[in-house]
Amino acid sequence: ELKVEQNPLFLSMQEGKNYTIYCNYSTTSDRLYWYRQDPGKSLESLFVLLSNGAVKQEGRLMASLDTKARLSTLHITAAVHDLSATYFCAVDIQGAQKLVFGQGTRLTINP
């Protein structure tokens, strides 16, 4: 059974700082998604990573995928308050028609 674990689960940081959220998964997959959820809202797709070594960047967020290490990272650069949200990684199980989600990382950025 595929397990997806995010670390940390809670993160409080100051504006202007850098930090990284880690997503480890337990079985082979070469397709991983990052989603953002604002409080009381739905989930919004941020990135899709399709192959080993894939790197995607949007503004202050950068995501990468290492399929050999079964690890994805979401790096936040010079955080701003607007990035406060819960971030989920989700791993595609080929042929199983489902994404397996991590527990989510609740990120709070303080002014």
Partner 1 sequence: EAQVTQNPRYLITVTGKKLTVTCSQNMNHEYMSWYRQDPGLGLRQIYYSMNVEVTDKGDVPEGYKVSRKEKRNFPLILESPSPNQTSLYFCASSLGGSGKAPLHFGNGTRLTVT
Q: Are 5 and 23 in contact (CB under 8 A)?
A: yes
Q: Does 56 bind partner 1 (CB under 8 A)?
A: no
Interface with partner 1 (CB under 8 A), residue from 25, 92, 107, 109 = 92
Shortest reach from residue 111's CB to partner 1, in Å: 26
Concatenated DSSP letters of the chain: ---EEEE-SEEEEETT--EEEEEEESS--S-EEEEEE-TTS-EEEEEEE-STT-EEEETTEEEEEETTTTEEEEEE-S--GGG-EEEEEEEEETTTTEEEE---EEEEEE-
Shortest reach from residue 65's CB to partner 1, in Å: 13
Shortest reach from residue 17's CB to partner 1, in Å: 26
Shortest reach from residue 56's CB to partner 1, in Å: 12
Interface with partner 1 (CB under 8 A), residue from 13, 22, 24, 31 = 31
Q: Does 42 bind partner 1 (CB under 8 A)?
A: yes
Query: What does the alpha-carbon distance between residue 17 and residue 81 come to, in Å, rounded to a whole number?
Result: 11
Residues at the contact surface with partner 1, assessed by CB under 8 A: 4, 9, 31, 33, 41-45, 48, 88, 90, 92-94, 96-99, 101-104
